[in-house]
Amino acid sequence: MDNLETNKKIVRRFNKEVIEQCNSNSFAQLIDENFVNKTAPLNSNGANGMWHTFNNILKPAFPDLVVEIYDQIAEGDKVTTRKAIIGTHKGKLFDIDPTGKQIKIDVIDIVRLKDGKYIEHWGINSLQSVLAELKK
C-alpha cells in the first residue's frame, strides 16, 4: 500500500474510531503531541480541544452519531475528506435541549499527517446551520 493510501486509511480510522466511537486509545495513537487545529479557536486548537469537541459536545448530544465519508483525496502529506456527521439529537447541545431531530453536519476537512499521526487540521462545516435548525 502506498503512502497516500495509508494516509487515507488513517483518516478513515480516525473518523470511525475517534469521532464515531470516542475511543480515547485510538485518539492517543492517531494524534501527534504537537497537533494544531488551524480552524479552532486559539484556546482549543490543540489535541485536548479536539478531543473535548468529540467526547464532551458531539457524542453526548448525538449518541448514535455516525460519520459517512463521501470522498477522499490524498496528495503529499495531506488528506482531504468530504463527509457528513449524522445523528439524532438526544442530548443537550450547547444551550439546546434534545429535540429528537435527525441532523446532518456536512464537513470538508484537510488533515496533514506526520509519521502516521494527525499533526494539522483545517476544516469547514455546516454546524451553525444545524444549530439554527435545532433552535426552531
* DSSP H helical ranges for the chain: 3-13, 24-30, 47-52, 59-61, 127-134
- Distance between CA atoms of residues 101 and 4, nearest Å: 37
Three-state SS at 51? helix
Query: In sequence order, what DSSP letters do the residues of 89-103 get, joined into one string?
Result: --S-BTTB-----EE
Domains defined for the chain, CATH in brackets? 3-134 (3.10.450.50)
Tens digit of each residue's pLDDT (9 = 90 or more) over 100-112: 999 999 999 999 9
- What residues contact 136, with CB distance under 8 A and at least 6 apart? none
Taken as a whole, the chain contains a residue count of: 136
Name the pTM for this structure. 0.94
- Distance between CA atoms of residues 109 and 130, nearest Å: 18
Output the pLDDT for position 1: 65
Q: In which region does residue 80 sit, left (phi positive, over 0), alpha (psi from -120 to 50) or beta (all else)? A: beta
- Give me the numbers of helices (H) and strands (E) for the chain, helices first please: 5, 5
Tens digit of each residue's pLDDT (9 = 90 or more) over 10-31: 999 999 999 999 999 999 999 9
Give me the percent of the chain exceeding a pLDDT of 90.
92
